[in-house]
Amino acid sequence: MVGGAREHRWFAALLGLGAVLRAVTMLGYRPAIWFPDSYTYVVTALKPRPDLVRPAGYPMFLRLLEPFHGFGVVALAQHLLGLAAGVLVYLAARRLRAPGWAAALASAPVLLDAYQIELEHLLVSDTLFMLLVVAAVRLALSREVTRRTACGLGLLVAAAALTRTVGLPLVAVFAAWLLYRARGRTAVAGVMLAAAVVPVLAYGAWFHATYQRVGIVGANGVFLYARTMAFADCAEMEPPADLAVLCDPRPPERRPPSQEYIWSADSPLVKLPGITFSRENDELAGRFAALALRSQPLDYLASLVKELSRSFTWDRPVYPDAEIYGYYEFPAETPPPPGRYPATVGVEFAERYERGPIGTEIAEPYAGWMRAYQDVARLPGAVLLVVLLVPPAAAGLRLLPRLRRGARPDRGPGRAPGAGAAGAAGASDAETAGPRTGRDPGAAAWVLPWTVASLLLVMPAAVAEFDYRYVLPAVPLACLALVLAGSRASLSNVP
């Protein structure tokens, strides 16, 4: 036990410090911090039915904790999920033979970043989503992925997709990874796909029975429309009359952030008859977005790059507006009540959940300590960019000598015919998990967390809008990829 404590002392120190910071947060902001989306989540939790905008994964999490009748319990659970994500990152790195200090360093951002801790204290879905994805990556990096493991992996991915729809593409990512691990055999990947797809289809059936619409949400067209309004030019698109009502005559550089085209009363879409997310309005918005993408693909690509670049700034400029930005800072004063109609309706349900009045009580000096800590303890976006660039760059540098050797003719004097091929095959067998291919699954171990992290950053910017809280779930996986690439982790050596 003493030896084990010494071996993991760096991680134990970080984990303990992370726990203390979360305890101070709970003392300073009681019981939790509210976000505009929080109220609609509570409505779905107490009145279970699919929501048109967000899947019901997080509301079901709230429903599980409803017997405790306290949002403080929800905040505590989310803080524990954040600590668990740090533990999973550390375990994944250590099982893949990364040095203890490097594995601890990979877990440091999720354990100590002040914005991560504040996100856990917000009543939003991102912390749950992050843990589900990190757990899926950890499971997929096991030495041997059996059918039972694949089933568990599929269920985790399904839960992530039903918590945030950005998790849907992860089904294909993990299926491709299992096909790689199994050297093309489809049985394990098929089990994972079935375990992931069946719950999503079941939820889709529930959604269809409720709204007579196909899907798991009814807002895809609306969000994509709002995304394209960052560049859409109706003079270039030449939309038909029924779509022209969604045009904005202002030039793109003078338009508000994309989210305003969903929620603002001045939005052309919001002005249409019926609710914004009705089937007719969503289909109309989707057709407009599809026309914009076909007519201006290069403008969309430039807009995507611009939106994605917001993830990698050194500082944190205010975006998309001061109201949303303020929710990601530990407040000095109690936040005002929600102003949007769906949120105001949710207040009544939140009081039922709490069995009493709701709000955020700010207690000093604990709240002041966390505000001061947030001023200095964060992972800058520019550092995250470096973390993402290093693994593929390092892999490329290691691959160059092999490519050069492969380009040379292998006919040196005194070598028996076929000796080079036999030697290469022997070396390959020594490095890989199986002799039937020349691939080394260990050398590619960093690829899975790196791909998932990159996808989590790109998808919101591609189909909706950049938001600071969408960046944080990608951070632990990016850090894990960096450590695995730097330590040349090998799955063939996993105990």
Model confidence at 2: pLDDT above 70: no
Q: Is the pLDDT of residue 342 over 80?
A: no
Q: What is the pLDDT of residue 425?
A: 36
Q: Report residue 234 CA to chain centroid gap.
A: 33
Does residue 397 or residue 384 have the better pLDDT? 384
Q: Answer whether residue 198 shows pLDDT above 60.
A: yes
How confident is the model at residue 5, as a pLDDT? 66
Per-residue pLDDT, 340: 64
Q: Which pLDDT belongs to residue 3?
A: 60
Give pLDDT, residue 341.
59
Hey, which of 255-259, 285-289, 323-327 has the most confident mean pLDDT?
A: 285-289
Section 355-361 average pLDDT:
90
pLDDT single digits (tens) 137-174: 999 998 888 899 999 999 999 999 999 999 999 999 99
Q: Tell whether the model's pLDDT for residue 197 goes beyond 60.
A: yes
- Note the helical H segments in 212-313: 220-228, 234-237, 241-244, 260-263, 279-295, 297-309
pLDDT at 397 exceeding the cut of 90: no
What confidence category does residue 294 fall into, taking pLDDT thresholds of 50, 70 and 90?
very high
Tell me which range, 332-336, 464-468, 489-493, is most confidently predicted by mean pLDDT.
464-468
Q: Per-residue pLDDT for 135 more than 90?
A: yes
Provide the pLDDT for residue 406: 65
How far is the C-alpha of 108 from the C-alpha of 116, rounded, in Å? 11
Place of tokens 């929710």: 327
* Residue corresponding to tokens 């790195």: 93
Least confident of 15-19, 97-101, 326-330, 402-406: 402-406
**296, 303 Cβ separation under 8 angstroms:** no
So what's the pLDDT on residue 490? 62
Q: How confident is the model over 217-270, as pLDDT tens digits?
A: 999 999 999 999 999 999 999 999 999 999 999 999 999 999 999 998 899 999
Mapping DSSP onto H, E and C, the string for 293-358 reads HHHCHHHHHHHHHHHHHHHHCCCCCCCCCHHHHHHCCCCCCCCCCCCCHHHHHHHHHHHHHHCCCC
Q: What's the whole-number mean pLDDT along residues 44-60?
A: 95
Residue 144 confidence (pLDDT): 83
The terminus-to-terminus CA distance of the chain in angstroms comes to: 19
Instruction: Return mean pLDDT, the chain.
Output: 88
CA angle (266, 271, 274) in 5-degree steps:
145
Higher-confidence position of 488 and 426: 488
Give pLDDT tens digits for 398-445. Answer: 777 777 776 555 444 444 444 443 333 333 333 333 333 334 444 588
Q: What proportion of the chain, given as a percentage, has pLDDT over 90?
A: 75
pLDDT score recorded for residue 343: 67
pLDDT of the residue at 399:
76
In terms of Cβ atoms closer than 10 Å to its own Cβ (0-12, 13-18, 19+), residue 84 is middle
pLDDT grade for 495, boundaries at 50, 70 and 90? low
- Given a cut of 70, whether residue 465 has pLDDT beyond it is yes
Q: What are 176's two structure tokens?
A: 């491709």
